[in-house]
A and B are shown apart, each in its own frame.
Chain A
Amino acid sequence: DTGVSQDPRHKITKRGQNVTFRCDPISEHNRLYWYRQTLGQGPEFLTYFQNEAQLEKSRLLSDRFSAERPKGSFSTLEIQRTEQGDSAMYLCASSFAYSGANVLTFGAGSRLTVL
């Protein structure tokens, strides 16, 4: 297992364009998380899935953001009509959910630059 994979690693786009990021979690993990991280800040929670179900979505998340995990394996995060304020590192993490510790394994992230 190669860990959590994210693609693309870098994306430069013009304001108003749509972008999509993909995350492939660790295969035996049933939970998948998306976080956003800006320079000098901690990861900010966006949303998470358990299997196919989206269990929580941040109130801070604009309706321009949508995430899917159609078959309970990989996930996509789409940002529509990008704005310069969307420029950030988008981190994906996965975990195996059980009652107890919640150990998240992160990918290396997808860096978005909106011009």
Chain B
Amino acid sequence: QQQVKQSPQSLIVQKGGIPIINCAYENTAFDYFPWYQQFPGKGPALLIAIRPDVSEKKEGRFTISFNKSAKQFSLHIMDSQPGDSATYFCAASGSAGGKLIFGQGTELSVKP
């Protein structure tokens, strides 16, 4: 019940494409859902986050869509660029804060 399942494991898109990464959770106590971006040799960095009281959040080219009833959320990257090539992780935590539970990661490659 503590797991966050992420798909796909890897994704290749052309520059300008819109990669979509999906995550699903089971624990209904989760109420904070961030996405982290990680480049090789670096730690993960927060990209964007959402709470279940909204169905969508946009920050620049990054959008989170959230479906509370399905217990799923996804990351969309608009007009993707080669510099977006990285590994993306979804995560979740409960209202008391504490630990983040991470998905398995998606390795994204954006071809020029």
Contact = CB atoms under 8 A, between A and B. Distances in A.
**A and B: partners?**
yes
Given A101-B49, A102-B32, A106-B43, A41 B97 contact: no
A40 interface: yes
Interface string B64-98: 00000000000000000000000001010101111
A98 B34 CA distance: 16
A104 interface: yes
A95 B101 CA distance: 15
B105 A41 contact: yes
A43 B49 contact: no
B43 A42 contact: no
B17 interface: no
A56 B101 CA distance: 13
| Residue of A91, A99, A105, A106 most packed against chain B (CB within 10 A) | A106
Given A102-B93, A103-B34, A93 B43 contact: yes
A91 B93 contact: no
Interface in B26-79: 32, 34, 36, 41-46, 49, 51
Nearest to B105: A42
Contacts of B98: 48, 55-56, 102
Contacts of A45: 99-101
Given A48-B99, A107-B43, A108-B42, A42 B89 contact: yes
A104 B97 contact: no
Nearest to B96: A99
| Residue of A93, A99, A101 most packed against chain B (CB within 10 A) | A101
Name the 9 nearest CB pairs between A and B, nearest first. Answer: A106-B43, A42-B102, A102-B97, A45-B99, A43-B102, A42-B105, A102-B93, A42-B89, A106-B44
Interface of B: 6, 9, 32, 34, 36, 41-46, 49, 51, 89, 91, 93, 95-105, 107
17 contacts: A40-B104, A41-B104, A42-B89, A42-B104, A43-B89, A45-B99, A48-B98, A56-B99, A95-B97, A98-B97, A99-B95, A99-B97, A101-B49, A104-B100, A105-B46, A106-B43, A109-B43
